[in-house]
Amino acid sequence: MNDSLKPPTSGGGNAKYAAIGLLLLIGGGGGIYALTRPAPTPQPVSIPVARDAGPPIVTNPSVGAVIELPPEVPDSGPAPDAGPPRIRYVTRYVAECSGTLSDPGGVQRTAQANYGAMRACYERELRANPALRGGLTAQLKINTSGRLDAVQVSTGMSSRPLVNCVKAALMRVSFPPSRGGCALAEVRYNFTPRE
């Protein structure tokens, strides 16, 4: 008989697939049962009731003895005649500029050359307040290009519009540049009405 005509012998291939299918079926059924079965109810736990043992028995006489507190002492607040507390403000100026002025005299000359703009601010406010007169000091923070980074104005005249106008006028002025970073300078003006 010819070998090519013989049926192939089975190596148990179908049996393997049947066994795998049977295992999957049993495992799936067990999983479904585990998911759908009711959860077990917890059994109540009995806790023994504690009895009151009564008052403690004191064997050491020092325990439970009465403690005496020292007499009250008044606090160390202000004396009754001192009045309300005084608040003291301390302002410390820290130089934030490490540069130097290239021409300190030039800064003063530039400030005086632009006195007309400051005087115009004063004249405008003088119309609203005819008694307005006094000195004005401006602290300038001059950068390396000669422009102002900041201006602080202090004066005894109580006129916020005058201060704002002077600040704006000074910010438009070009001063001699500083060297090595920004530098601080101070200019003073004195305003009195014209006779």
In a domain, residue 85? The reply is no
What local confidence, expressed as pLDDT, does residue 60 receive? 53
User: Residue 112: which region, alpha, beta or left (left: phi > 0; alpha: psi -120 to 50)?
Assistant: alpha
In a domain, 13, yes or no: no
Which tokens is 147 given?
């422009």
Q: What HEC string does 133-156 produce?
A: CEEEEEEEEECCCCCEEEEEEEEC
Provide the 3-class DSSP secondary structure of residue 29. Answer: helix
| Structural domain range at position 136 | 104-191
* pLDDT per position as a tens digit, 113-127: 999 999 999 999 989
**What is the tally of structural domains in the chain?**
1
Under the banding of pLDDT at 50, 70 and 90, the label for residue 35 is confident
| Core vs surface per residue 71-100: b (16+ CB within 10 A) or e | eeeeeeeeeeeeeeeeeeeeeeeeeebebe
35 belongs to a structural domain: no
Backbone angles phi, psi at 79, to 5 degrees: -65, 150
Q: How confident is the model at residue 93 (pLDDT cuts 50, 70, 90)?
A: very low
CA atoms of 154 and 159, how far apart (whole Å): 11
Average pLDDT taken over every residue of the chain: 77
Strand 134-142 with 178-179, pairing: unpaired
Residue 95 within a domain: no
Give the CA angle between residues 57, 63, 67 to the nearest 5°.
135
- What single-letter DSSP state applies at residue 76? -
Indicate whether 83 belongs to any domain. Answer: no
The model's pLDDT over 55-84, given as tens digits with 9 standing for 90+, comes to 555 555 555 556 677 777 766 655 556 555
Domain CATH for 127? 3.30.1150
In a domain, 27, yes or no: no
- In-domain check, residue 158: yes
Residue-level pLDDT at 24: 82
Assigned domain for 137 exists: yes
